[in-house]
Amino acid sequence: MSAQVWPHIPHEQLIKEEEDSLAAELEWLLEALQDALPSLKSGLEECLALITPQEPGTTLALSTHRSETIKGVVTRVGTRIVKGDIQIRLPSLPAPRSLPSYPLRISSPLPLPQLSALLTFLNQALDIIDISTWTGDPKNGPFISGQLRLLGDIINEAQAIMKGGEEVVGGKWWEDDFNGDETDLNMPLYPSLSPHITLTPSSLLLTVRTLVPSPAASAPGTNGTSTPSSTSGPSLTGLSLRTRLTQILAPTPAPTHDEADRTFLYRGGEVKVRDKVRVEAQDPSLMAVGAKLSAVGREVEAWRGKMAIVMGEEI
């Protein structure tokens, strides 16, 4: 089934009428987009406000489900953890004498690289909206289409940052172990202890690992990072006589976590993860940022689709 114009008009005139119609539709679409940009900007500014440093910050509880393995609190102000008091109980982590658990206390600001990167992406997105509104030509279809594409890509990267994982900034614990800076703590870390704080879409994630030197391998490792077998092990000295005897005499159960078969290059040597415990602290601000960012992303994608249809572009 087809539609025809009546009375019949020449093909060249029909093409011109179609082009004029698309031009008028594009002009209307660009004007409508200018009306929608303030709403997009408002949503991004709300996200920015939720992770901008504001005293007294947000205090979050850390507690493993139905166990006393990890108990404590941390306080987040903007993109940093400013203080924390965490108690850890693991078979491979001996508690100091006269204490029931190992204390991990954060006394100086601890940066969260993922939140810093998210802050950068949000500022870049706001700059793009300002350029589309004031600096560039708001009636130039190709220019606005390019700005929308760039805005969508930045929002996608911001959402990927919030999802976490090893591929995002700050995701590799063997490189970013408490940023490698023990001055953030009020006491030196136990030699085999590796705590790491990162993000999930709606919470802070604390992962506590205890490490052991990796046995000499006959071939370069392929897990975590590729490391030659000749690399010397990290310094895990400082164990008490009681701890050494316990490790020698007590049977060591086989690790059951997801990193049991991996080898990592950590502080200059190859290590394996003996124990691993994860605990999440739900953060209302991060939950709100994730929801608002998703809403802005969907709206930007919708505008990109409309522009692509009118301009004959691929999304």
| pLDDT tens, position by position, 136-161 | 888 899 999 999 999 999 999 999 99
Percentage of the chain exceeding pLDDT 70:
78
Residues 107-132 have a mean pLDDT of 94
Please list the alpha-helical segments (H only) found in the chain.
Answer: 11-51, 113-130, 141-163, 173-176, 241-249, 284-311
First and final C-alpha spacing in the chain: 28
Residues 299-305 have a mean pLDDT of 95
Q: What is the pLDDT of residue 124?
A: 97
Out of 49-58, 240-249, 292-301, the most confident range is 292-301
Q: What is the pLDDT of residue 115?
A: 94
Q: What is the pLDDT of residue 251?
A: 54
Q: Cis bond leading into 255, ω under 30°?
A: no
Least confident of 35-49, 69-83, 125-139, 171-185: 171-185
Q: What is the pLDDT of residue 190?
A: 78
Pick the more confident residue, 276 or 230. 276
Contacts of 292 (CB under 8 A, 6+ apart): 43, 46, 47, 50
Residues 94-111 have a mean pLDDT of 89
Cβ burial 265-299 (10 Å sphere, 16+ → b, else e): bbbebbbbbbbbbebbbebebbebbbebbeebbeb
Look at residues 11, 36, 29 and name the one whose alpha carbon lies nearest to residue 311.
29
Residue 222, pLDDT above cutoff 60: no
Residue 11, pLDDT above cutoff 90: no
Q: What is the pLDDT of residue 234?
A: 55
| pLDDT tens, position by position, 250-272 | 555 666 777 888 899 988 889 99
Least confident of 70-74, 78-82, 151-155, 257-261: 257-261
Confidence band, pLDDT 50/70/90 cuts, at residue 3: low
- Say if pTM beats, i.e. exceeds, 0.75: yes
Confidence band, pLDDT 50/70/90 cuts, at residue 284: very high
Q: What is the pLDDT of residue 179?
A: 44
Look at residues 63, 57, 48 and name the one whose alpha carbon lies nearest to residue 76.
57
In the 8-state DSSP scheme, what is residue 306? H
* Average pLDDT of every residue of the chain: 82
Burial bucket for residue 66 (CB in 10 Å: 0-12, 13-18, 19+): exposed
Percentage of the chain exceeding pLDDT 90:
50
**Distance of alpha carbon 102 from alpha carbon 208, whole angstroms:** 12
3-state secondary structure of 309: helix
Residue type, 115: L
